[in-house]
Chains A and B, each alone.
Chain A
Amino acid sequence: MTATEVVSVTLPKGGAAHDLRVIRIVLHRELLRFFNDRARLLSSLVQPVLWLFVMGTGLGSLVQGAIPGLDYRTFIFPGMISMTVIMTGMFSAASIVWDREFGFLREMLVAPVSRGAIVLGKVLGGAVVATAQGVIILALAGLVGIPYAPGLLLTLLGEMFLAAFTITAFGTLLAARMKSMQSFFGVMQMAIMPMVFLSGAMFPLANLPSWLHVLTTVNPLTYAVDPMRSAVFSHLDVAPQVDAMLNPGVVWFGWRLPVGLELGLVTMLALGLLWVAIAQFRRTD
């Protein structure tokens, strides 16, 4: 020890370059954690595969006559992608509560960095991990009769990332105040289940009773699922009346929202949620 020169570090002032380093390392840690945890990797894959091939096949045989010329599994495929992305994103956000319980959050919060950089890194990390999960489901597209068209895959990839980012920001916002994993998962179940059910992931949004229709249009997740379904259906060869039934889009007072507007709404929501999440972390000390 005496022989070695002491390496003394002088920390530069903060600034954008420092914030970028923080975002990068927080994101990097999310990826390390995720790809090191094979059990989590596997379990988050099993659920959508079960839905797609077990529930999808079972329910599919029931509704076979009702939808001519289309496999039910093809219909729920975009829904299952969003479900995977949502679950993974939420789990990533839950790791904040985990970090708090195990003290690591403190290491991050006492550093001379902006809370915004930490939260943004965390949300981006969750979004990347969730998108990676979605890509694995996307790889199964051929099995349910969806073509591997590059344009479609790229569109879905982008839409998956947007949905993942939004849901992770929402989860982070919830996690900002939670002290234990139990309460987080309780709240998460309460928030996520109705949102998934009302999003059109599992059944088409056409011809619903009006109370249910209203609920689906106020559910933000609807606007994330519908663009994916539209993208898939635009690459399928189905009769117009089947398309109208299964891919009705989101209708406001008789006006069908264009996909671009839906994506814009989700983006605005994502930024809003991120902003509130950062504000929450600025307040906690």
Chain B
Amino acid sequence: MTSAVEVRGLRKAYGKVEAVKGVDFEVAPGEVFGFLGPNGAGKTTTISMLCTLTTPTGGTATVAGYDVVANRDEVRRNIGLVFQDPTLDGYLTAEQNLRFHAELYGVPRNLVDARLRQVLEMVALWDRKDSKVLTFSGGMKRRLEIARGLLHSPRVLFLDEPTVGLDPQTRAAIWGYINKLRRTEDITIFMTTHYMDEAEYCDRIAIIDHGELVVIDSPEALKASVGRDRVQLQTADDQGAIEALRERFGLEAAIREGQVTFGVAGGEEFVPRLFAELGVPIRSVSVSRPSLDDVFMEYTGTTIRDAESEGGANQWMRAMVRR
């Protein structure tokens, strides 16, 4: 079977700023594929090109077997879209919004009622179908958008930051629907996120930074590739501890989230040596298996949170270029 998404040397430049600098990847049918990166890394630009909303300045991409430039309407017929920003009509009811979508996409009339009920039940909004959308909470709106994106049985569902701005409970609920979706529908899910904990749900993750693909693999393989555990210390003298780690153990440590943080293979066995040889009083120690945060740090040299604050200028620049 052909790939759900196939991308070759895809690039996009806004004037002189290259938002996406030639990326290659494939997504297999049925996969949940995550695009991970800080804001301004090129995630949204890439997804826009795959959804035929932005024309690439180089390279090729096919979605559901159709070229995004040459077969734009075929691509659109085969994808569902959930954007970061809401695209619902608040003055219409939930059902009216979905019916509008069904007509727009030409869903066969005899299937509309059954399919409408199915997608609304899936996101637990069937009993609210007659309420106007402007009375909905942010989470309900996002669920309705997901239902709408599924209404025409797309082969590939694109979710651009589906959980951004939602509270933890709603985020968990949305992930519940996405997991249910992959069991009930024959669908490939392509999503972007900058929440590390959510990327864990994906079958495979692509890390993108500064418009380039850094690495693609399953979350487990990526974590295993780091090979080092994360150790975090609270000490009486953090600077002293960092120096001691460098001199006595040859380890590069840094202050992350207010703690002295470093990576070392076999972290648990290392703790006794640390107490014996560090020479700086230690208040607490924690050792953790590598998380996707560590993966991100390993491959990009920065944590995603630090990359976000640095990426602010980049985003601003993109906004200016778009005008």
Contact = CB atoms under 8 A, between A and B. Distances in A.
A111 interface: yes
B105 interface: yes
B24 interface: no
Interface stretch (B179-187, B208-216, B276-284, B306-314): B179-187
Q: What is the interface residue range for chain B against chain A?
A: 35 or more
Contact of A24 (B81, B96, B103, B153): B103
A110 B121 contact: no
A190 interface: no
A180 to B, nearest CB: 13
A25 B103 contact: yes
Given A32-B96, A107-B101, A21 B106 contact: yes
B87 interface: yes
Contacts of B103: 21-22, 24-25
A43 interface: no
A103 B115 contact: no
A4 B88 CA distance: 27
Interface stretch (A7-15, A152-160, A235-243): A7-15
A111 to B, nearest CB: 4
Given A8-B153, A11-B77, A107-B87, A113 B180 contact: no
Given A1-B121, A106-B83, A25 B104 contact: yes
Contacts of A103: 83, 85-88
Given A6-B184, A106-B87, A112 B118 contact: no
Interface string B72-103: 01101100010101111111100010011101
B320 interface: no
A139 B107 CA distance: 41
A104 to B, nearest CB: 5
B111 to A, nearest CB: 5
Nearest to A107: B87
Interface string A150-183: 0000000000000000000000000000000000
A282 interface: no
Contacts of A11: 77, 105-108, 152-153
B89 A9 contact: no
Given A9-B108, A104-B87, A110-B81, 11 more contacts: A22-B104, A25-B99, A32-B96, A33-B92, A99-B89, A102-B90, A103-B88, A107-B88, A110-B76, A111-B104, A112-B76
